[in-house]
Structure 1
């Protein structure tokens, strides 16, 4: 799931966003895998995991397989966003309403998840 956030968002902002955009739609998750980002290692997240009975796992630092997969995904997403923005940061639909590229993120997410991934040979949804 793609979620927009700012690099300087506080842990509470991230928790509220995940509650509003993920948990309220899909239910509680069993596990979050993090790269040790302070947003997920804060006391707030520790308390949330204890409260909900969920688990926080960390990717291994400097682990080539984990780092490589994450970097490949980030590179792919950056390329997709760059292509979206190549059409302009804003555009008009057939009714003349102005939209901004960020409104296309759900379409970008669908395109990414529907594509065949070279590492697995499957769709993201499989």
Structure 2
């Protein structure tokens, strides 16, 4: 597709609904790096973000989503595989209608402010009646059946992917160690600015006493040295000399806690 055609399609399919974006991430195809597209983005104030080979951090998300959409379409396209473009909107509807765990709502709700209508089950009295094979009613039933297949497949696939992501993420997660007020802990100062000439001598400066447990990952230490404090050290009570800090559980610090 030529750059001019891409611009027209972009206007027709995206910009008229969502306006011009701040940035566009794309590969380095000739239509994206050509003079027409580059100058158009410059005039519209769009930041071009071109992907780099073997670096999925740039457009890895869209590429992965394209693979998912392809998997959905394989189940409904014809034998010649030449009608896939007809079912892309159905796959998009299914993806946008599913609740995203990251934002707690579906993309459809985030844009429109209300949830989409739930898919209508096909096995109802309205669909039970038989019609001639090539009648308009039969063709309508086949069309809706494919829509339902894509919706079910998309939602099942996304549910499976969510479970796999949760399982992989939990492999390296460990329960946080429980600290109590009065416990002695080492303080890791690698991320603190030091006023002393050699910062390396401040690492694991000393054991400090926990004065308050804010949550399983954050505690408040008493009597911190001046060099270990960053910015304001005022607490809710207005006292100085204490700051919220994260206690490191690195193996090199064991035993990092003594009572």
TM-score tier by shorter-chain length is 0.5 to 0.7
Residue among 84, 87, 94 paired with 1:111: 94
Matches within 5 A, 1:18-57: 18-57=10-49
TM-score w.r.t. the length of structure 2 is: 0.35
TM-score w.r.t. the length of structure 1 is: 0.65
- Gapped runs of 5+ residues in structure 2? 111-259
- Encode CA deviations 1:17-51: one digit per residue, 9 max, x unaligned: 11122112221111100121221111011111121
- Encode CA deviations 1:62-99: one digit per residue, 9 max, x unaligned: 11445654443222111111112159979xxxxxxxxx
Structure 1 pair 121–63 and aligned structure 2 pair: CA distance change class (3 A): farther
- Corresponding residue SS for 2:65: helix
- Corresponding residue SS for 2:75: helix
Give the match for residue 77 of structure 1.
69
Confirm or deny that 1:102 pairs with 2:102: no
> Which has the larger Rg?
2
Give the match for residue 8 of structure 2.
16
1:114 and 1:123 in contact (8 A); partners too: no
Structure 1 pair 82–102 and aligned structure 2 pair: CA distance change class (3 A): same
- Corresponding residue SS for 1:84: coil
Give the match for residue 178 of structure 2.
none
- Gapped runs of 5+ residues in structure 1? 1-8, 91-99
Structure 1 pair 64–52 and aligned structure 2 pair: CA distance change class (3 A): closer
2:24 and 2:49 in contact (8 A); partners too: yes
More helix by share: 1
Choose between structure 1 and 2 for higher RCO, CA contacts under 8 A separated by at least 6 residues: 1
1:117 and 1:124 in contact (8 A); partners too: yes
